[in-house]
A and B are shown apart, each in its own frame.
Chain A
Amino acid sequence: MANNKFMTTVSPHLHEKGQTIDRAMKDVLLALAPAGVWAIIVFGFQAILVMAVSIITAMLSEVVVRKILGRKSSLSDLSAVLTGLFLAFLLPVTTPLWVVAIGAFLAVGVAKELFGGLGKNIFNPALFGRVALMISPLWLYIAKFVKPFWYTANGVNWFTPITTSINNGVAGRVVFKTLAGTTKVNVVTSATPLSLLKSGRMLANTVSGATPVGATWITSSGRPSFWSMALGLKAGSMGEVSVLLLLLGGLYLIYRRTIDWRIPVGVLCGALFIFLITWNHPVYQMLSGGIWLGAFFMATDWVTSPMTKRGKWIYAVGIGVFIGLIRLVSPLPEGVAIAILIWNALTLVLDRYVAEPKFGEIKKPWFNRVPVLPKPKPAAQKA
């Protein structure tokens, strides 16, 4: 017994079961699954292709960039898979696959790995990838949306691949090529509810017929009804359409304590507040675009959100307010991605300067002040 050596590490000697990075990533993947399946149902086989290309490119980018930088492979933490899926969720199903691949590389290769790898990145990688595409010349390719169940139109089916063509470098047009090779041009593109609100136009036809809860999908004003917005029968990026399924996944993550409830609550309340005081179509605004995907899945990203409770509240409400303001005053119809990225950048500032009271602290200051320690003499420091 006496001659075998035991392992020596610093206390504690126990570790919480299942509390690992890949477990958390798996949780998020699971939480995204319902919305992902819904995307495949409403947007067709092409949705699978976009997700697959995004995930595979994200993983490849991670492997290649880490190899070049001389870092160890980190595929097993699943964060690249997650970023790839997130990016796919943020893109419309009409995005050409090569554009998807570029976005995934920008997300993982640049926003994550060049910033120092998981934990050191300042910006949410998927949002970074999406916004980088948006402000690049490629923006035309990610600006066309199709309406849900577009494949029920004549001459196309669920398997029909989608390609987007650019005419004269201006208008994005969506082309559907059937398997037989015949093409149908621009038959089923659709404006998103938000761009409708922006332009003041009405939606010609999204989905008609009765909803499971009685009312029709489209209101008399031509906009999607409340229920079609909530259930996800609207045009939009692949992952953002079904508010209910996103809420389901988000609640699961809160229950699993993978994300902090304060952030979605803060984002949603902040945005609702602005929509209410400006009376900017509060119900539509809340149910449309990426607010729910952003609040539950993007703003809650561990790495790019603040560490303290106070910081989290400021950050979350800040995002919500920014979404509200961007949608109100800027020409951009969306705003979730930009708002989150801005606050991502402010996260380290919040962490550094907003003080969190320690146990038993009597004065509870709001600002951190670094204590002044005597300077070590250069010679003494070595000793």
Chain B
Amino acid sequence: MSNQGYKTFKGGIHPPYNKELASGKAITPAPIPSELVIPLNQHIGAPNNPLVSPGDRVKVGQKIGETDAFVSAPVHSSVAGTVKAVEDIKNFTGAMVKSVIITADSDQPPFEAKEMKPLADLSADEIKQIAKEAGLTGMGGAAFPTHVKLSPPKDKPVDSVLINACECEPFLTCDHRLMLERPVDLVEGLKLLMRAVDAEKGVIGIEANKMDAVEKVRSAVSAEPSIEVEILDVKYPEGSEKQLIAAVTGRKVPPGKLPSEVGCLVQNVGTAIALYEAASTGKPLYERVLTVTGHAIKNPSNFLVKVGTPISVLIEAAGGLADNATKLIMGGPMTGWAQEEPTANVVKGTSGILALPPDLVDVREEHGCVRCTKCVEACPMYLMPNYIVDAVQKEDWAKAELWGAIDCFECGVCSYTCPAYIPHVSYVRKAKAQIAALKKR
């Protein structure tokens, strides 16, 4: 598959998508486990302090972690129950994170909707406040606090809000399902986002492999002259912030700068819908839709899942693993984290759980770079992935920065296409850590 003639960015790859495994499955609520582990830190930014202690009773949607720092997002309980412990638990990346362990009541009352102002009366600041209170973050993986994104510098006005509805990661279908099942909520959420940053234009960018979603969303925006649906080429990483902006508006965010530099704001489908829910009912972000899929999952599904649910519960609910499951991944296949055991817990940024059979796991010994330039051609940031690796091997951090280690957003395109099977991303992470440490001093 190559280009389909819609708008797109330069570089990138066409992996096999395998979306059909789960795209036809309607969203269903996942079972609520008896015990949930809710990490207090699920976002990029300052860590939260626990607001509860062992023995405390918690309600659905009750705030359990918070901090005064601006770049942060509070965390809420996803169930009614009792706090069993507050302790360090390994999260999906293997890092130890302070987490609240909650024993869920066997009887779960529904969330009590709060009395809210009519949506049309909300001011920009009120919307930001709602986003902050609800603990909204990006829901595609990076989990950047939403209210921070909604507060661009004063001298950089935002004229366009883009909804990343590309879902360019193979296998995942949760955004696709959300667009099919809740197009109106998505549009309402986008309108709130536009109001929050005073943007005159909204664009929903959808990849051309989801034409049914395009149709649904188009009919939902038919009465909104300021909102457009833009069909985009099916290419990875179409949904990356900078690439999406380039594809839709032709503007390019300079290295090291934020989208507001070119007057744009990007949010994903899940976040827009969560903002709408928060604004209309006061519901914080304590549950999300994710896809449990892969050829080694017996019954691929799209679930509405409580944050803190152990992934083993979801795998069970999706029919369990096939015997030949070789790799278990939290997130998408391009940027997700491989799990040794199904013990991690769902966080706000978890978009999927993937189990791959051996024939999709092509792991080989790393060969030296043969300078084929495939990675350079495909890198959507126009970096020099092979030279970053070379610099890291020589521990020459200045060179690593020269070749672009800082600008790399770890999309994995380079390794995907590398005939030498070099895991560039692990080198890039090393370089980033070292450069940051050197600059701090």
* Interface residues, chain A, with chain B CB atoms under 8 Å away: 1-2, 5-17, 19-21, 23-24, 77, 116-120, 260, 302-305, 307-308, 351, 356-362, 368-374, 376-377, 380
Contacts and interface: CB of A to CB of B under 8 A. Distances in A.
B419 A21 contact: yes
Contact of B342 (A1, A77, A377): A1
The majority secondary structure among interface residues of chain A is loop
Contact of A117 (B333, B368, B381, B415): B368
29 contacts: A1-B315, A7-B327, A7-B338, A9-B327, A10-B425, A11-B331, A11-B338, A13-B361, A20-B419, A21-B367, A77-B367, A117-B368, A118-B367, A119-B367, A302-B371, A304-B371, A307-B371, A351-B387, A358-B255, A358-B404, A358-B407, A359-B246, A359-B381, A360-B252, A360-B255, A371-B398, A372-B398, A373-B439, A374-B438
B418 to A, nearest CB: 7
Contact of B340 (A8, A11, A351): A8
Contacts of B441: 374, 376-377, 380
Interface string B174-200: 000000000000000000000000000
B272 interface: no
Contacts of A362: 254
A210 B298 CA distance: 69
A13 B387 CA distance: 22
Nearest to A362: B254
Contact of A2 (B331, B342, B373, B374): B342
Contact of B242 (A10, A307, A360): A360
B382 A358 contact: yes
A113 to B, nearest CB: 13
B326 A10 contact: no
Nearest to B376: A307
A13 B331 CA distance: 11
Given A12-B425, A307-B371, A19 B386 contact: no
A369 B367 CA distance: 29
Contacts of B315: 1
Interface string B328-371: 11010111111111100000000000101000111100011111
Contact of A373 (B326, B370, B384, B435): B435
Interface residues on B, range: 35 or more
A7 B373 contact: no
Contact of A11 (B253, B367, B412): B412
B338 A13 contact: yes
With most chain B CB atoms within 10 A of its CB, the pick from A6, A7, A356 is A6
Contacts of B336: 11, 13
A308 B376 contact: yes
Nearest to A355: B402
Nearest to B9: A359
B301 interface: no
A364 B46 CA distance: 36
Contact of A14 (B15, B387, B423): B15
Contacts of A8: 338-340
A16 B417 contact: yes
B341 A5 contact: yes
Given A307-B386, A358-B404, A360-B252, A19 B374 contact: yes
Contacts of B320: 1
B188 to A, nearest CB: 32
Contacts of B373: 260, 302, 307
Nearest to A116: B368
B380 interface: yes
A1 B413 CA distance: 32
Contacts of A12: 333-335, 411-413, 415-416, 425
Contacts of A307: 371, 373, 376, 384, 386-387
A376 B325 CA distance: 45
Contact of B337 (A2, A11, A356, A380): A11
B420 A119 contact: yes
B276 interface: no
B333 A13 contact: yes
A70 to B, nearest CB: 15
A370 B435 CA distance: 13
Contacts of A119: 367-371, 420
Given A7-B326, A11-B335, 11 more contacts: A2-B342, A11-B412, A12-B335, A12-B413, A19-B374, A116-B368, A119-B369, A119-B370, A360-B257, A370-B402, A376-B441
Nearest to A13: B333
Nearest to B336: A11
Nearest to B325: A6
Contact of B312 (A2, A10, A13, A371): A2
Given A1-B320, A302-B371, A7 B361 contact: yes
The 10 closest A-B pairs by CB, nearest first: A12-B412, A360-B252, A15-B362, A119-B368, A10-B426, A8-B338, A6-B328, A360-B254, A12-B334, A359-B381
A59 to B, nearest CB: 18
Given A6-B328, A117-B368, A371-B401, A361 B425 contact: no
Interface in B383-439: 383-384, 386-387, 397-399, 401-402, 404, 407, 410-413, 415-421, 423, 425-426, 429, 435, 438-439
With most chain B CB atoms within 10 A of its CB, the pick from A23, A117, A373 is A373
Contacts of B152: none
B170 interface: yes
Given A303-B371, A359-B382, A371-B398, A11 B410 contact: yes
Contacts of B13: 16
With most chain B CB atoms within 10 A of its CB, the pick from A2, A20, A23, A380 is A20
Nearest to A361: B255
B372 interface: yes
B37 interface: no
B75 interface: no
A215 B370 CA distance: 46
A372 B252 CA distance: 26
A5 B77 CA distance: 30
B365 to A, nearest CB: 9
Interface string B229-272: 00000000000001000100000111101000000000000000
A13 B368 contact: no
A359 B255 CA distance: 7
B321 interface: yes
B421 A373 contact: no
A303 B420 CA distance: 12
Contacts of A19: 374, 417-419
A373 B438 contact: yes
Contacts of B246: 359-360
A351 B246 CA distance: 27
Contacts of B380: 359
Contacts of B326: 6-7
A359 B402 CA distance: 14
Contacts of B257: 360
Contacts of B242: 359-360
Nearest to B380: A359
Interface in B295-325: 312, 315, 320-321, 325
A11 B342 contact: no
A356 B384 contact: yes
Nearest to A356: B382
Contacts of B337: 11
A15 B415 contact: yes
